[in-house]
Amino acid sequence: MHEKALEKARKLELDGVAPDAEYMAVAGSDYGWVKAWKVEDGYVVLYGDGDNTYADVDKSSHLEDDDLAPWLEWQDLDPLESIEQRANVRGADAIPDATGDEDGPFYILVTRYLYGSREITGFVTNDRHEPLEFDSIKDAHEWIKRTDTAVWCLSWGEYARPSYKVVTAV
């Protein structure tokens, strides 16, 4: 089934047929992209990232561009990986802010803005590259305040200071 879908999708693309729906991860095409063409029994969907291309059939009767984002989201991730992936596919705004009513721990997402309209989001990490945990939302906001008021030197490809968001994995 997947091979037939891949063959059909590649033929449509090679023939210059524009997809009926398209989606690209906010982190860019190397992170993920999806294209879908209407066929007789639903949609043939071509999706991938910088290194891989896959295809399948979606039996939906109608697809919009934003309906394609789930094709880039794995279902078997731990909660923190899932948050990071969703932020890189849909944007950090798709992740709810912590309210402080949660038990914690609290984490900080950092979004870097890169030329080419890409936003790369990850967690603020410790020296071992593990997400930094905060016991309270107040501690996390204080960390952001200290960092945000410091002088910031843009990294290669950045066009603006990063933004921060306090989240929980609850």
pLDDT in tens, 49-97: 988 999 898 998 888 888 999 999 998 999 999 999 999 999 999 999 9
Q: What is the pLDDT of residues 139-149, one digit of tens each?
A: 999 999 998 88
Give the domain-ending residue among 72, 89, 120: 72
Which among 72, 107, 132 is the end of a domain? 72
% residues pLDDT > 90 (the chain): 68
Q: Note whether 47 and 13 are same-domain residues.
A: yes
Same domain, 25 and 95: no
- Same structural domain for residues 34 and 68? yes
More confident of the two residues 132 and 9: 132
Mean pLDDT calculated for residue range 105-116: 95
pLDDT at 99 over 80: yes
pLDDT score of 6: 77
Write down the mean pLDDT value for the chain: 92
> Residue 104: what pLDDT?
85
Domain assignment of residue 49, given as a range:
2-72
pLDDT band at 114 (very low <50, low <70, confident <90, very high): very high
Identify whether residues 66 and 83 lie together within a single domain.
no
Residue tagged 């950090």 (tokens)? 92
Same domain, 119 and 144: yes
Mean pLDDT on 152-170: 90
- Residue 50: the pLDDT is 84
Claim to verify: residue 100 and residue 63 sit in the same structural domain: no
In this structure, the answer to whether residues 66 and 87 fall within a common structural domain is no
- Kindly state the average pLDDT of the residues 30-57: 91
pTM of the model: 0.89
Q: Do 47 and 62 contact (CB within 8 A), yes or no?
A: no
Residue 1 pLDDT grade (very low, low, confident, very high; cuts 50, 70, 90):
low
Q: Are residues 94 and 145 in the same domain?
A: yes
The domain boundary, picked from 40, 72, 104, lies at 72
